[in-house]
Amino acid sequence: MAQKPSIPKGTRDFGQIEMARRNYIFDTIKSVFMLYGFQQIETPAMENLSTLMGKYGEEGDKLLFRIQNSGEKAALAPEKGLRYDLTVPFARYVVQHREEIAFPFKRFQIQPVWRADRPQKGRYREFYQCDVDVIGSNSLVGELELIQIVEEVYRRLGINVCLHLNNRKVLAGIAEVIGAPDKMVDITVAIDKLDKIGVEAVNAELAERGLSAEQIQALQPILNLSGTTTEKLAALRTILAQSETGLKGVEELETLFGMIEATGVKLNIELDLCLARGLNYYTGAIFEVKALDAQIGSITGGGRYDNLTGIFGMPDVSGVGISFGADRIYDVLTELELFPAELQSATRVLFATFGQAELTYALRWAKALREKGVAVEVYPEPTKMKKQMGYADDKKIPFVAIVGGNEMESNTVMLKEMGSGEQKQVTIEELCTIL
């Protein structure tokens, strides 16, 4: 007996209903991106491994999927890997196409990425990201627009969220004032896990990464800092008084929060000093968005990177971007039952017929309706009416147009609303109005 086919762990098939729902997410996000003047690009699924390595930190490098070279002269070809995210390929794209780009360059990408991670709820090995970035400007207007985009996307999707905001310069300043400036990466990687593993486990990891007991103790008041945004920023000014970098981060946060207030942003925003974002290329503001009514990790994240293109030979070009995790957003919308009911079926009406002449009649009506933009199906053979009605039920088609001899004579159809069971004879004009 043939073995039942399967797919790799951490990947999924998507049927017609799933795809309708996914396209609803993609279309919603894309329409908001375009409101702010962002334009779409795409990059290859695979990149040269040298493009990807060393850009995501030690842990990120371990999660890269490598592609075995094959074919003629395979041993001489550069090693390749599946893209881990869309930001590093974007930086490569900017450098490679710099002569064709007008700066500041505002782009978005909606494509899959791959990570050799352990599959679990909300975490897949293949998943889609919806990235939006502006590169070639240092202005905090970039950060503000990303926050406004987050607000509008989740307003349209109906998801109640909180945006967590921090600044990597503040984290660098913290590393300085506790006497561990060389441990910036170790500190950020550890404290980024605070909400997942708790304070004690974070402190244990900090010790494993070489921080002294005194340095870990000095970090505790910062990890536990509370109060309003204004109070937190005031406290940080005192704590980071001896760190020029840290104070610069505080100043950027103060400016950004001022812009948020001035533009009337209503989004729930929390200054979260434990937010670190594990990726090494972030240098300024960092964002993470979490759904308030669902138990899942962050569904959007990103930040400012000041020299990502420098690694490809184009230094001193600052950018800021954010990525929407489409798969996690899908899981949240499913859990909270927020998908619109009409996504169950794109088809508005099914024509059901009793004979071959009626089928031909229905095909003419279907053509006329499609020309008016109505999604129509005609059951392909005049079989038992129960079977045709069952098909409409299975596909959640809201109307069935029944065609028999009487309908052909009167140039009408018998329209049945599947939800209520009500039936009435209608003309083509009346059917268009109803649909």
SS (H, E, C) 35-59: HCCCEECCCCCEEEHHHHCCCCHHH
Query: How high is the pLDDT of residue 342?
Result: 79
On the question of pLDDT at 388 being above 90, the answer is: yes
**What was the pLDDT predicted at 189?**
79
Average pLDDT over residues 18-24: 94
Across residues 208-225, what is the average pLDDT? 85
The model carries a pTM of 0.85
Span 21-37, mean pLDDT?
A: 97
pLDDT at 72 over 70: no
How many CA atoms, within 13 angstroms, populate the side-chain half-sphere of residue 290?
14
pLDDT of residue 27 exceeding 80, the answer is: yes
> What was the pLDDT predicted at 223?
77
Angle at 47 between CA 43 and CA 51, to 5 degrees: 110
- Among residues 360, 350, 422, 362, the alpha carbon closest in space to that of 387 is found at 350
pLDDT tens digits for range 393-412 = 998 899 999 999 999 999 99
The pLDDT of residue 164 is above 90: yes
Q: What percent of the chain has pLDDT above 70?
A: 97
Specify the pLDDT at position 219. 85
Q: Which domains does the chain possess?
A: 16-335 (3.30.930.10), 345-434 (3.40.50.800)
First to last CA, the chain: 49
pLDDT tens by residue, 223-242: 778 889 999 999 999 989 99
pLDDT beyond 70 at 88: yes
Does 39 or 216 have the greater pLDDT score? 39
Query: What pLDDT does 71 receive?
Result: 67
Task: Express each pLDDT in 45-69 by its tens digit.
Answer: 999 999 998 877 788 889 999 988 8
Kindly indicate the confidence band of residue 76, based on its pLDDT and cuts at 50, 70 and 90. Answer: low
pLDDT exceeds 80 at position 279: no
Does position 433 have pLDDT exceeding 90, yes or no? Answer: no
* pLDDT over 70 (residue 372): yes
Average pLDDT in the chain:
91
> pLDDT per residue over 97-134, tens digit each?
999 999 999 999 999 999 998 888 767 899 999 999 99
Read off the pLDDT of each residue in 368-379 and give the average, rounded to a whole number.
93
Q: How confident is the model at residue 75 (pLDDT cuts 50, 70, 90)?
A: low
**pLDDT at residue 434, rounded to an integer:** 86
Share of the chain above pLDDT 90, in %: 65
pLDDT over 70 (residue 278): no
Query: What integer is the mean pLDDT of 288-300?
Result: 93
